[in-house]
Structure 1
Amino acid sequence: MIKAVVFDVDDTLYDQKAPFVAALAPIIQLPTSFDLTRTFQAYRRQSGQLTKSFLSRKNIAEWEVTRLNTALHAQDLPPVTPEAAAAFQDAYTHKLQHIALFPGLATVLNRLKAQYQLGIITNGQTDYQLAKVMRLHMQRWIDRQTILTSEEAGVAKPDPQIFTMMNRRLKLRASEIVYVGDCYSLDIRAAKQAGWQAFWFNHRNFEIPDGDWTPDQTVESPAELQQLLLALTGVAQL
């Protein structure tokens, strides 16, 4: 029996690709029809490695250049200069100041909170991720105690230990928790390895990789996610 619903943050609670593309477009000057999905996903994979043990404040500027150029290489795009990478980072940070929940999620969270414990597990620096959580007004539904970042935990997804830490915070067994995330390898496989149920918010329409772990549910749009989560509360539709 599910007693808690825990969410990823980036590209699960809000659309992370839109501000990324908007910040990158003037830097590399591509046609508006060019699909930057693979570059975006590569950037996210690089960002997931940003933990306290991996990166010190002294080399963060250098790492930001490497992170962006590694992502651009995923689609054979030319590397950018450190100055261009800094300009992108400034623009991206600015645009992330104006993120909003996917449509329908606020209503769903209101209903979920009445019946379930709610939480967040997210990779990244604690201050940076908490700032996003606050911009999304998630404090309306989720207490700070049940928000766990990889920097705080000392391990990052896909390490299942971070999910086990959340078990203790929620005081629940793994089988009583479901995780909602957009990334199969970081979110779904890791949650299943930890004994959780896992809902894959596959709104980027990726094929499921070969593997032994199958999502308990898969949805491909914010509307489908809304209906899935409402079903947990016994509400078929709004």
Structure 2
Amino acid sequence: MNNVDLKQIKAVAFDIDGTLYRAWKFNLRIAPYFLFHSFFFLKYGLVRNIMHRTEPTPEFVKLQASHMAKKLKCSPEEAEQRLEKIIYKGLEKYFVNLKPCKGALEFIHKLKDNGYKLGLLSDFPPEQKGDIWGVRDLCDVVLGSEEAGALKPDPTPFLRLAKEFNLPPEQILYVGNHHKYDILGAHNAGMKTAWLILPHCGWIGKKSKIADLTFWHYNQLSDWFFGSE
């Protein structure tokens, strides 16, 4: 694994959205819902861009609602209620029966069987996705970055993850699909990183100068850890 001593890795943590499942599959599912709430999603996207650049705060939920209220020209209380209804609760049903990336669950189970600690760190509440194909019950740490008061790539949620693992960051491999938020954020927090890209990007040789590993199929990640069988 690209200049990484696997003996140093004691835990592997995963982003969820776009990492344990392909984002394009989810986007196809929610297309009608997105179009119906297109104005709200547009404003929400602008607010999340602000929150990605905001300093950590224990008042994350209220601050996000405050920004949303300005965009929607409503009260913060109404904005918070609409966020809960449309984003947090409204999207839950679209995760039901969503298929994970091929090989992802097998790799995670193999990690567990070989004594690695497991974790999830997402910018959205992990509970929104239910049991996450049983992965949630296998994890030592499950964390939504909003709980930590800051979205990725801020180092705060990554350092909170390391603290809950009771491990130094350099002993954790973080797996994600978003280069700026997942890979750069985890790298800057001192973690090792594995970047999941789309297959066609892998076929043309796309690489990251920051990630310790670039892959497009979980079998590749498994082979780097355990060797091909």
Q: Normalising to structure 2: TM-score of the pair?
A: 0.69
Matched, 1:225 2:218: yes
SS in 2 for 1:165: helix
Given the superposition, is the C-alpha separation of residues 131 and 93 from structure 1 closer, same or farther in structure 2, using an over 3 Å criterion? closer
- Residue in structure 2 matched with residue 34 of structure 1 by the alignment: none
The one-character-per-residue Cα deviations of 1:182-205 (angstroms, maximum 9, x if unpaired) are 000000001110111000001274
Gaps of 5+ in 2: 1-7, 36-40, 53-59, 66-75
Instruction: Find the counterpart in structure 2 of residue 236 from structure 1.
Output: 228
Deviations 1:89-146, CA, capped at 9 Å, x for gaps = 95x543222223212222111110123100011112x3xx213151422134213xx1
Q: 1:132 to 1:149 in 2, by over 3 A?
A: same
Report whether the alignment pairs 1:203 with 2:203: no
Q: How many percent of aligned residue pairs carry the same amino acid? A: 24
The answer (yes or no) to whether the contact 1:201–1:218 under 8 Å persists in 2 is: yes
Matches within 5 A, 1:123-162: 123-124=123-124, 126=125, 129-143=126-140, 146-162=141-157
* CA shift for structure 1 position 236: 1.5
Contact 1:184 / 1:208 at 8 angstroms: preserved in 2? no
Question: What SS class does the counterpart of residue 96 from structure 2 fall into?
Answer: helix
Cα distance in 2 between the residues matched to 1:16 and 1:48: 22
Query: Could you say if the C-alpha distance between residues 3 and 133 of structure 1 is closer, same or farther in structure 2, counting changes exceeding 3 Å?
Result: farther
SS of aligned partner of 1:6: strand
Deviation of residue 171 (structure 1)?
1.1
What CA RMSD, in Å, does the superposition of the two structures yield over aligned residues? 3.5
SS in 2 for 1:134: coil
Instruction: Tell whether the 8 Å contact from 1:167 to 1:174 is kept in structure 2 after alignment.
Output: yes
Q: 1:8 aligns with which of 1, 6, 15?
A: 15
What is the CA-CA distance between 1:208 and the residue it aligns to? 6.8
The answer for the alignment partner of 2:108 in structure 1 is: 109
The answer (yes or no) to whether the contact 1:99–1:136 under 8 Å persists in 2 is no
* Amino acid across the alignment from 1:21: L
Q: Which residue of 1 aligns with 2:78?
A: 58
Native 8 Å contact 2:92 2:128 kept in 1: no
Q: 1:169 to 1:61 in 2, by over 3 A?
A: closer
Give me the whole-angstrom Cα distance separating, in 2, the residues matched to 1:149 and 1:98. Answer: 22
* Alignment of structure 1 residues 163-202 onto 2, 5 Å: 163-202=158-197
Match of 2:211 in 1: 215
Hey, what does 1:98 align to over in structure 2?
97
TM-score by length of 1: 0.67
Structure 1 unaligned blocks of 5 or more: 29-38, 65-85
